[in-house]
Amino acid sequence: MQMKTNAGSLADALGIVGGLVQRRGNIPILGAVKLENGTLSVLGGVGMRADIALPTVGKTRGAAAIDCHSLAGLARHIPRDEVVEITDDSSLAVIKFNGSEYQLPSYAASDFPSDMEKVEGDRSAMDNAGFAAALKRVMFAASTEEMRYYLNGVATINLDGEPLVVATDGHRLAYLSIPFMPNGAEGAILPYEAVAFLAKRKHEPKASVYSPDERRARFEYDGLVFTTHCIKGTYPDVARVIPKLPVPYARLGRLDAIAALRRLSSLDQFGGNPVVLSGSDDRLTMVRGVGDSCGREAIPCVTPQLGNFRVGFNGRYLIEVLSALRGDAVTFAASPDDGGIGSSPSVITADDDPLRIVLMPMRI
Amino acid sequence: MQMKTNAGSLADALGIVGGLVQRRGNIPILGAVKLENGTLSVLGGVGMRADIALPTVGKTRGAAAIDCHSLAGLARHIPRDEVVEITDDSSLAVIKFNGSEYQLPSYAASDFPSDMEKVEGDRSAMDNAGFAAALKRVMFAASTEEMRYYLNGVATINLDGEPLVVATDGHRLAYLSIPFMPNGAEGAILPYEAVAFLAKRKHEPKASVYSPDERRARFEYDGLVFTTHCIKGTYPDVARVIPKLPVPYARLGRLDAIAALRRLSSLDQFGGNPVVLSGSDDRLTMVRGVGDSCGREAIPCVTPQLGNFRVGFNGRYLIEVLSALRGDAVTFAASPDDGGIGSSPSVITADDDPLRIVLMPMRI
């Protein structure tokens, strides 16, 4: 095997894929990067694959598989404009640049699994429609708990005919409209790691291919193809969780509320005790007690339609929800028929922000 | 107890001292901040004390001791220009600002230990002489190993009549001249944590008071007094370690060498295997092998007086040493009579930088 590329492109490509690749796994080839025909390929630990086109210099022939993290550690420190020559005789790769020479263990490139190379399905042009940006905004609400593995990602669903991306951990739920449902994407659940990879890219993917049968999705960028399995499972029926015709019960300043919640969090980093919100007389009082300590905050608040109220939330969730929204004024709303504000889910939104968040109250 | 101060000053003061104070110790008062007569005082976990003057508003009376980390967590999130009122009835402190109210546990201020309040000794005006800056430059070489506790800091010594600050861990030694020896400082060893505190300040101390009998040192800044114990122990005889009349054997580019060493470090983060430096024909070759991997780097190098050489160093130390120096050209020197370059300590210096570093070779 022989190829030449420039150090900057190699380091960038390895930087993009490095987070996907397992460290110190039991099967060395799964921790390797395959170089073949100017394409750099890696497998992600949890059913992902990335292929990146590298610029090559001169003739390229053969294939090699080299430990990804070793090569990335080296490439990161080579001056970006150096030409790097990689040769390989199937058990030892030699990397040369500007008088320096490194030998790294290599593996047979033919052992590199090929099963994620293709995805059979209809291609959708993504038209810069903000799909990855939408994933990025809702992903904070996904669960990380392995018991409910089908919540460990972001789903694409139709809600009353409206295509959405949605994430929830059972306590809070975030959803956002997308302009259209990519072919084959309805009901698909992208794993959190894949969402994180897509969210980190500077650009939107140019196209997607979802295969409902294979439970796979492929996202194509200029010079990068990212393939991931989708979570095998059925997403909960979101329509049952979202309150019908919620009525606004509080309207307040988002940044004021975040600052007050941060102060309340200093009592113990929100180890379980709820923040109790009470609204009356155009003021919102937030109270929290932890052991011998307690704090009381008051901020201006309009109580539009339902009058005085009292509701408890997990303070950490509340900070995350308010931080996920944009703009200053946020509105809390609930369905008054669901048993009172204190025991029914609240819908939290910000003016001019399409993101919708549903937050379950805590018992107080 | 009652005092009013402004939130920004309180947060800044707690930010300065927060790193010193133990978290979750067994004795609550040692984790407390004492507020008395506009002075905020804390005790550091390993024999340190800091006293900071706070601006007060209106009348101040009494004293209180409040958990430092709780108060710091709260103060950090209060808008800086708010006035904060603290009152205390000896078991509960109440903190009020702009309509918010917090209750935090408090302790009897009379239990706050007073034994580090004073240091008996001669005061030295520090005249902005760069004492703290000198500590900061040599501290990287101090040991963190508890077995040789007397190396866990920076010593002030006289070497052939020249006042120095010096740190070593037995493998490398860094020293730097200071314009004068503060009164009582000769032979004193400042603990690493105290050095780190002094190094972090933006300004030099205005004055110092060393007490050789009490083994204590006090550093006075505008509005801040920092007191520390000195390590009880005898510093090694540095004069025996520093090579006499070392002869330059290699002269090379500092940044070139750091870049090459970083690439060699990618093989395994320098887990023990030495970097072998060979100089000949105006080139320095650096070779390192780790398991099946190996790397070879070559950079330009002048071999001034002793001709070809071969010496092994710990690569991580070598990166740290070269990073601690300034400027581009560095010179390696050794005493040729000490058994050859490969088995005697090297003195590493940079042009126009007064910092001197001695590095022990590794067996190769």
Give the whole-angstrom CA distance, residue B219 versus residue B226.
5
How open is the CA angle B344-B349-B352, to the nearest 5 degrees?
A: 160
> Shortest Cα distance from B205 to chain A (angstroms)?
32
Q: Which residue in A244, A232, A239, A311 sits closest to A275, CA to CA?
A: A311
Which whole number is the average pLDDT over B92-110?
Answer: 94
Which of A105, A262, A267 is the closest to B293 by Cβ?
A105
Give the whole-angstrom CA distance, residue A14 versus residue B109.
57
Residue A206, chain B, CB below 8 Å: the answer is no
- The SS3 assignment for A18 reads helix
Angle between helices B315-324 and B254-265 (to 10 degrees): 150
Give the whole-angstrom CA distance, residue B137 versus residue B198.
12
Which of B259, B266, B298 is the closest to A99 by Cβ?
B298
Residue A255, chain B, CB below 8 Å: the answer is no
**Residue owning tokens 């994407």:** A185
Residues B4 and B56 sit within 8 Å (Cβ to Cβ): yes
Name the residue in chain A with its Cα closest to that of B261: A77
Q: CA dihedral in degrees (B25, B27, B32, B38; nearest 10)?
A: -150
Give the whole-angstrom CA distance, residue A269 versus residue A211.
43
Asked if residue B61 has pLDDT above 60, the reply is yes
- The SS3 assignment for B269 reads coil
Residue B144, chain A, CB below 8 Å: the answer is no
Angle between helices A315-324 and A254-265 (to 10 degrees): 150
Give the whole-angstrom CA distance, residue A12 versus residue A18.
10
Residues A46 and A55 sit within 8 Å (Cβ to Cβ): no
Q: What is the pLDDT of residue A27?
A: 87
Which residues in chain B touch residue A100, judged by CB atoms under 8 angstroms apart?
A: 260, 263, 295-298
Count of pairs with CB atoms under 8 A, one residue in A, one in B: 86
Tens-binned pLDDT, residue by residue, of chain A (364 aa): 999 999 999 999 999 998 899 887 788 899 999 999 999 999 998 799 999 999 999 999 999 999 999 999 999 999 999 999 999 987 899 999 999 999 998 999 999 998 899 999 999 999 889 999 999 999 999 999 999 999 999 999 999 999 999 999 999 999 999 999 999 999 999 999 999 999 999 999 999 999 999 999 999 999 999 999 999 999 999 999 999 889 999 999 999 999 999 999 988 755 678 999 999 989 999 999 988 899 999 999 998 888 899 999 999 999 999 999 999 999 999 997 777 899 999 999 999 999 999 999 998 8
**pLDDT tens across B246-274, in order?**
999 999 999 999 999 999 998 875 567 89
Which domains can be identified in chain A, with CATH numbers?
2-111 (3.10.150.10), 123-239 (3.10.150.10), 243-359 (3.10.150.10)
Give the whole-angstrom CA distance, residue A79 versus residue A72.
13
Asked if the Cβ–Cβ distance from B263 to A105 is below 8 Å, we say no
Farthest-apart Cα atoms in chain A, separation: 78
Residue B25, chain A, CB below 8 Å: the answer is no
Contacts (Cβ under 8 Å, ≥6 apart) of B18: B68, B69, B72
The amino acid at residue B58 is G
Count the neighbouring beta carbons within 10 Å of the beta carbon of residue A361. Answer: 21
Angle between helices A7-18 and A68-75 (to 10 degrees): 130
Q: What is the pLDDT of residue B272?
A: 75
Residue B243: φ, ψ to 5°: -60, 140
Asked if residue B31 has pLDDT above 70, the reply is yes
Residue A99, chain B, CB below 8 Å: the answer is yes
Q: Which of A69, A77, A287, A290 to probe by mutation at the B interface, max B CB count within 10 Å?
A: A77
Q: What is the pLDDT of residue A319?
A: 95
Residue B77, chain A, CB below 8 Å: the answer is yes
Which residues in chain B touch residue A298, judged by CB atoms under 8 angstroms apart?
A: 99-100
Count the neighbouring beta carbons within 10 Å of the beta carbon of residue B140. Answer: 16
Q: Output the six-digit token pair for B308.
A: 């070809």
Which of A103, A292, A296 is the closest to B293 by Cβ?
A103
Residue B266, chain A, CB below 8 Å: the answer is yes
Q: Output the six-digit token pair for A362.
A: 């805590």
Count the neighbouring beta carbons within 10 Å of the beta carbon of residue A83. Answer: 14
The amino acid at residue A55 is P
Residues B18 and B11 sit within 8 Å (Cβ to Cβ): no
**Residue owning tokens 């704090």:** A295
Give the whole-angstrom CA distance, residue B102 versus residue B71.
10
Asked if the Cβ–Cβ distance from B100 to A267 is below 8 Å, we say no
**Model ipTM value:** 0.87
**Ramachandran area for residue A138 (φ above 0: left; ψ -120 to 50: alpha; else beta):** alpha
- The SS3 assignment for B253 reads strand
**pLDDT tens across B64-84, in order?**
999 999 999 999 999 999 999
Give the whole-angstrom CA distance, residue B287 versus residue B276.
5
Name the residue in chain A with its Cα closest to that of B300: A99
**pLDDT tens across B305-346, in order?**
888 999 999 999 999 999 999 999 999 999 977 778 999 999
Which whole number is the average pLDDT over B201-217?
Answer: 96
Beta bridge partners of B85: B4, B96
Q: What is the pLDDT of residue A337?
A: 78
Asked if residue B137 has pLDDT above 70, the reply is yes
Share of chain B above pLDDT 90, in %: 85
Asked if the Cβ–Cβ distance from B293 to A102 is below 8 Å, we say yes
State the average pLDDT for chain B.
94
Q: Output the six-digit token pair for B327.
A: 């400027």
Asked if the Cβ–Cβ distance from B103 to A292 is below 8 Å, we say yes
> Shortest Cα distance from A4 to chain B (angstroms)?
18
Residues B254 and B322 sit within 8 Å (Cβ to Cβ): yes
**pLDDT tens across B8-17, in order?**
999 999 999 9
- The SS3 assignment for A68 reads helix
